[in-house]
A and B are shown apart, each in its own frame.
Chain A
């Protein structure tokens, strides 16, 4: 029944022991040769800490090609002045940046120095991932004497200096100047009320067939400015700084605007809710106004042939503040913290480096150098954004507290709730209740 079980290998079992053994050894050796390089390759991926007195600082940021070039030049300048320090530079687009940063940190391989913004600063600071820079600031290794105090303060989380502002910006309403002039329409101005803005947008829509304004009800930064004008805030301590009634009023304000035809349809609003610069409706021609940050003007300008203008968000501009557009933070466990701090100091205060970097990350934090940069710039859009922000700076109110842990989820929940109302799947009151409940859960955990 089992024809195949004849022990075909049995006869040579005993008599050929020696060659067999050699063959066995050979086989093992061969296998080892195949397997070893893999192990070696794995080992080679280890640390590259220099034993020759040289230090390599790993640095990670998000941004586009232009930012990468400027940053690389500035870092090369640092290496030129400090030949013992070189950099391992990594950069990528904003989308996915924080996923990657979190993964690097979890993998025990975080960069010494990284770019971060107020959406995540508290998340990292609350988990002690960022180094407290206060002691360096006190010892003068980190020179912040030329910083506006409120800008510096906007990097403080739980009494620790979690990040140093890499630049300053503020909310900016960017509109399509060409479209307005062509149709003989007035340009919007800073200080217009929200109602006036919506009425103006309706007028634009009627005349040009282009919706006058993106509906910013899903945009946390617009909501935030509006809240501050109502005497509220996004956060107050570890709680939400607003109630469901506030959110309802906010959603209703924009439902009114949609009903009047001042905004695009829900699906186009959804497109514009992406943070990607190239998707902003003022650039894609799907609305006359987009809600962005002032320092994004030059980047927006690159994506359209039309002339653009920029003003503050509607309402009292003192609700806006000197916001750190982004920060430099040092990983708490970095072995090269001293040097990393020095690099931050260099990027913030070295005249040559700051000039190189320009306003790419917002207005330079160092006020003396900010003046130099704004005098020197030749980029019209950049000059415009500097002028507007400098004007606004005189009206700025006090900085709010840095958004708390859970903020990134709150932002996502606002988009979800606002879109629910925009698509007509929920009333403003229902959407507001949903948002408040989800946000409370998000910041509680």
Chain B
């Protein structure tokens, strides 16, 4: 086991592990191969440079300017840290959007993961037709952040939407969910939670990896279902939970489409759905303050990076890798 999974030294890419003879003999050819490799890679590399890396660096530069989209490059003025200063000291709507995004992520992400894990546990059995259910539960997440889905959602949670008709069956009078500033964000959270299919599938795969002998051993030791779940399933699943948590948190912070559609691009009603990315979009493209929006984007990037680092540093304490001794 340990032999086959041990990292293959030849794949480390560093020439130092290769015997000297190899290097002398095929060095130039290897070099040529490298070149061909890069040429093959070039479509992607050029894409990465032109579509991702360059614009990112450019936006870093823009974040120190007063760029407003319409003004030609030559007339853009360097404003130093003014944009960053404004964000932290004198922009209430920025702080508001931070609060909205944090509360969205703090509530929607854990609930989504819990739903995904719960359903995965149910579907991890050999029932008849379980494949159908797996497919059905996965379906919503295939729709992803689509505009069409958001439109359906808005219509479902209107004052005269399907959800309120359903509530009416039980004599409950609903609310105008999406048009109520106290409920609009919650409606978006429900949408996010409902799309738990992707983490669910990953949980399912993780559950299949848990060796059955662990459960057998546990039940021999007299552990009940709950104990088995807490002491076997959760630790064995912790790498998968960790993976889902990191991914879904990043996704949660970046929620845009549904908020944009629900509020017609305004973040309304009364800024209740003003997610960070939506605020950034409005600032850059509607208010034409692209320099300031770039600064917002960089603060966002750094915040997400910090949160991810935080996850990784705490992961040590609760994530167990079964082949832990190799790491």
Q: Are A416 and B268 in contact (CB under 8 A)?
A: yes
Residues of B contacting A425 with CB < 8 Å?
Answer: 181, 270
Scan B277-300; emit 1 where CB is below 8 A from any A CB, else 0: 000001001111110000000000
Residue A271, interface by CB 8 Å: yes
Which residues between 42 and 72 of chain A lie within 8 Å of chain B, taking CB atoms? none
Which residues between 400 and 418 of chain A lie within 8 Å of chain B, taking CB atoms? 408-409, 412, 415-416
Q: Are A28 and B270 in contact (CB under 8 A)?
A: no
Residue B71, interface by CB 8 Å: yes
Measured CB to CB, the nearest residue on chain A to B37 is A31
Residues of B contacting A4 with CB < 8 Å?
Answer: 8-10
Quote the shortest CB–CB distance from A289 to chain B (angstroms): 20
Residues of B contacting A380 with CB < 8 Å?
Answer: none
* A28-B39, A38-B43, A445-B289 as given contacts; A9 in contact with B270, CB under 8 Å: no
Residues of A contacting B8 with CB < 8 Å?
Answer: 4
Which residues between 71 and 98 of chain B lie within 8 Å of chain A, taking CB atoms? 71
Interface size class of B (residues with CB under 8 A): 35 or more
Residue B1, interface by CB 8 Å: no
Q: Are A423 and B270 in contact (CB under 8 A)?
A: yes
Q: Are A106 and B290 in contact (CB under 8 A)?
A: yes
Residues of A contacting B32 with CB < 8 Å?
Answer: 24, 28
CA distance A24 to B31 in the complex (A): 10
Residue A112, interface by CB 8 Å: no
Residue A237, interface by CB 8 Å: no
Quote the shortest CB–CB distance from A334 to chain B (angstroms): 14
Residues of A contacting B286 with CB < 8 Å?
Answer: 98-99, 408-409, 412
CA distance A219 to B301 in the complex (A): 36
Scan A4-43; emit 1 where CB is below 8 A from any B CB, else 0: 1101011001100000100010011001101100110000
Residue B244, interface by CB 8 Å: no
Residue B5, interface by CB 8 Å: no
Residue B68, interface by CB 8 Å: yes
Residue A95, interface by CB 8 Å: yes
CA distance A425 to B26 in the complex (A): 75
Residue B145, interface by CB 8 Å: no
Q: Are A24 and B33 in contact (CB under 8 A)?
A: yes
* A31-B40, A31-B42, A412-B266 as given contacts; A10 in contact with B17, CB under 8 Å: no
Q: Are B21 and A415 in contact (CB under 8 A)?
A: no
Q: Are B264 and A129 in contact (CB under 8 A)?
A: no
CA distance A420 to B265 in the complex (A): 18
* A5-B19, A99-B285, A425-B181 as given contacts; A35 in contact with B71, CB under 8 Å: no
Residue B99, interface by CB 8 Å: no
Measured CB to CB, the nearest residue on chain A to B269 is A270
Scan B163-180; emit 1 where CB is below 8 A from any A CB, else 0: 000000000000010011
Residues of B contacting A265 with CB < 8 Å?
Answer: 176
Residue A81, interface by CB 8 Å: no
CA distance A341 to B71 in the complex (A): 22
Residue A159, interface by CB 8 Å: no
Residue B22, interface by CB 8 Å: yes
Q: Are B29 and A13 in contact (CB under 8 A)?
A: yes
Residue A84, interface by CB 8 Å: no
Residues of A contacting B70 with CB < 8 Å?
Answer: 102, 105-106, 123-124, 127, 129
Residue A267, interface by CB 8 Å: yes
* A7-B22, A24-B32 as given contacts; A2 in contact with B9, CB under 8 Å: yes
Which residues between 213 and 248 of chain B lie within 8 Å of chain A, taking CB atoms? none
Residue A274, interface by CB 8 Å: yes
Scan B40-56; emit 1 where CB is below 8 A from any A CB, else 0: 10110010000000000
Label chain A's interface by main secondary structure: helix
Which residues between 148 and 174 of chain A lie within 8 Å of chain B, taking CB atoms? none
Q: Are A267 and B176 in contact (CB under 8 A)?
A: yes
Residue B69, interface by CB 8 Å: yes
Residue B35, interface by CB 8 Å: yes
Q: Are A28 and B36 in contact (CB under 8 A)?
A: yes
Quote the shortest CB–CB distance from B34 to chain A (angstroms): 11
Measured CB to CB, the nearest residue on chain B to A107 is B69
Residue B208, interface by CB 8 Å: no
* A10-B21, A102-B288 as given contacts; A31 in contact with B69, CB under 8 Å: no
Measured CB to CB, the nearest residue on chain B to A413 is B93
Q: Are A103 and B69 in contact (CB under 8 A)?
A: yes
CA distance A10 to B24 in the complex (A): 9
Q: Are B180 and A267 in contact (CB under 8 A)?
A: yes
Quote the shortest CB–CB distance from A159 to chain B (angstroms): 19
Q: Are B25 and A13 in contact (CB under 8 A)?
A: yes
Q: Are B270 and A420 in contact (CB under 8 A)?
A: yes
Residues of B contacting A27 with CB < 8 Å?
Answer: 33, 36
Quote the shortest CB–CB distance from A421 to chain B (angstroms): 10
Q: Are B268 and A34 in contact (CB under 8 A)?
A: no
Residue A372, interface by CB 8 Å: no
CA distance A324 to B265 in the complex (A): 25
Residue B134, interface by CB 8 Å: no
Residue B159, interface by CB 8 Å: yes
Measured CB to CB, the nearest residue on chain A to B292 is A445
Q: Are A419 and B270 in contact (CB under 8 A)?
A: yes
Q: Are A10 and B26 in contact (CB under 8 A)?
A: yes
Q: Are A123 and B288 in contact (CB under 8 A)?
A: yes
Quote the shortest CB–CB distance from B297 to chain A (angstroms): 15
Quote the shortest CB–CB distance from B121 to chain A (angstroms): 39
Q: Are B43 and A20 in contact (CB under 8 A)?
A: no
CA distance A271 to B262 in the complex (A): 11
15 contacts between A and B (CB under 8 A): A2-B17, A5-B19, A13-B26, A31-B36, A38-B43, A38-B46, A95-B264, A102-B69, A267-B179, A270-B269, A276-B264, A408-B287, A412-B266, A416-B270, A419-B181
Chain A positions within 8 Å of B, measured between CB atoms, are 2, 4-5, 7, 9-10, 13-14, 20, 24, 27-28, 31-32, 34-35, 38-39, 95-96, 98-99, 102-103, 105-106, 123-124, 127-129, 265, 267-268, 270-271, 274, 276, 408-409, 412, 415-416, 419-420, 423, 425, 442, 445
The 4 closest A-B pairs by CB, nearest first: A267-B176, A267-B179, A31-B39, A13-B25
